[in-house]
Chain A
Amino acid sequence: MRRCRGVNASREALAEIGSNAGHVDVETIFLAHYERIARVIARVLRDPSRAEELAVEVFLKWSRNPAAQGENAQAWLYRVAVRAGLDELRRETRRTQRERVVRFFRHSPTPEDIRASKEDQEKVRAVLAAIQPRQAELLVLRSHGLSYDELAGALDLKPASIGTFLSRAEQTFRKEYIKRYGQQ
C-alpha cells in the first residue's frame, strides 16, 4: 500500500517537474524520470544493464533536443524510451534468428536455449517484435501502468481514440501470439 502511494506521489512530482522543465536543471529531470524510463525499457529487453544504457541514451537525446523540453518532457521521454527498447528488441530478435541458422549447421540447441525460448517473457517479446511498432509501443506503455491520457500524450494520439487503438493492438497481439504458440 505504501509502495502504491509512493508511486502516485512520484507521478505528481514528475508531472510538476515536467511542467516546469524550462526552469529545472537537466540533471534534476534525469534523476526524477530515470528509474521509470529504465523500467519501461527493461520490460522489453532481456538485459537490464542494456536497458539502463539505453535509458541514458534517451536522456542524452532529450538534452540535445530543445523541442523535447518543457511541459512535454515526460511524454517525450516515454515515447522515445519505448521506441528505443522495441528497436533494440527487434535487433536482438534478428540477431538471434541469424545465430539460430548458424547454429543449425554447427550444433543442436543447448538446454539453456530451449529453456529461454520457453519462457513467457520471451514469447511476449517475440510477439511484440513481430507486430506493428505503434501497437507494440501502446501495449508496452499500457502494461507499464500509463493512463489513457498519459498514453495519448506519449504517443501523440487523441485521448478519445486510445480505447480503439488499444483494443486493436490487443487483438493483433492475441492473433500473433496464438499463431505462434497456440491458445495457452
Chain B
Amino acid sequence: MDNNRDQWVEERLAALRPDSEWLPDASRGLAQFRGHQRDRATHRTRRWGWLAAGAVVAALPLMAFPSTRAFAQRCVSACVGQSNWVRDLLVHNVSESVPSSVFVKAGNRRMAPDFVLDDASGKPVRLSEFRGKVVLLNFWATWCTPCAAEIPWFIEFQKAHQDAGFATLGVSLDEDGWSAVKPYIDGHKINYRIMVGNDNVSRLYDAVSLPTTLIIDKSGRIAATHVGIRSKSEYEADIKAVLDEK
C-alpha cells in the first residue's frame, strides 16, 4: 500500500520536472548577482552619506544655542586632546600667519580684571605687575586632557619670547590645590609661573570651560580669549600680533 502511494504521488510530482530543453543560464545569473551586490554597496554608501548629511543639518540649528555649542566644543576638544593623530593634523599642519578669529583690534579691547594669587613658592603674583609685557594667561587643570596638550606649546612660547617682553601665566583650577599641581609642574618641567586659582578669579574671566586662554596686551587689555583648545599656530599668530604692536 505504501509503495503504491509513493508511486502514485511520485508520478504526479514528476510532472514538475522542468522542460528538458531549458537550461538555467549561469553566466547571466552571475552577471545579475554581481550587479545586485554592486547596487547594494552603492546603496549602503549613499545611505551613510544621507545619514551624515542629515546629522549635520540636524546639528546646525543646535549650534545656535550657547550651551550646545559649548558642549560640542568640549567634545571636539576632548577628541583633539586625546588623539595625537587628529592633533597633528589640526595643529601642526595648519599654518596661520594672521591673528585668530577671536583677536580684538587694539581700540576695542577691554581691561583684563586684576587679581593676586600665590605662585608655587608662595610668592604673590599680581597681573597688573606685568604691564608692559604681553601675557598669555591660561586657565587649566591637571585632569584636563586638552590643557595637557597645550602646556608644551606654552613652555615653548615662554622660551622663545620671554626676552621680547612676553610672559606666560598659568592659573590652575584644581580643587585639590597645590597637592595636585606641584607634582605636575615638576613632572612637566613647566618654565612659567603657575598659580592656583579660586572661584573669584575664574568668575572674573568667565573661565567655565577649560582650557580658557587669554592674550593680554602690553597695556593690560584683553586681545584674544580662546575657549577650548586651539591650534598652536593660532596662539602664536596672536602673540606675534600683540608683540608687534607699539
Contacts and interface: CB of A to CB of B under 8 A. Distances in A.
Which of B9, B23, B28, B29 has the most C-beta atoms of chain A within 10 angstroms of its own C-beta?
Answer: B9
A10 interface: no
B16 A35 contact: no
Interface in B1-49: 2, 5-6, 8-10, 12-19, 22-26, 28-30, 32-34, 36-37, 40
Contacts of B9: 139, 170, 173-174
A184 to B, nearest CB: 9
A173 B6 CA distance: 11
Contacts of B40: 60
Contacts of A48: 18-19, 22, 24
A121 B17 CA distance: 9
B13 A143 contact: yes
B36 A52 contact: no
B16 A38 contact: no
A63 B36 CA distance: 11
A34 B29 contact: yes
Chain B interface category by residue count: 20 to 34
B25 A124 contact: no
14 contacts: A27-B34, A31-B26, A42-B24, A43-B18, A52-B24, A52-B25, A52-B28, A53-B32, A55-B24, A56-B33, A124-B16, A143-B13, A173-B9, A174-B8
B13 A52 contact: no
Nearest to B9: A170
Contact of B5 (A27, A44, A60, A170): A170
A56 B29 contact: yes
B16 A170 contact: no
A144 to B, nearest CB: 9
Contacts of B34: 27
A96 interface: no
A35 B22 CA distance: 11
A90 interface: no
Contacts of A55: 24, 29
A174 B236 CA distance: 90
B37 A60 contact: yes
Contacts of A56: 29, 32-33, 36
A120 interface: yes
Contacts of B10: 143
Contacts of B26: 30-31, 34-35
List 4 tightest A-B contacts by C-beta distance, closest first: A38-B24, A143-B13, A120-B15, A43-B16
Contacts of A171: 5
Contacts of B5: 170-171, 174
A52 B29 contact: yes
Contacts of A125: 16
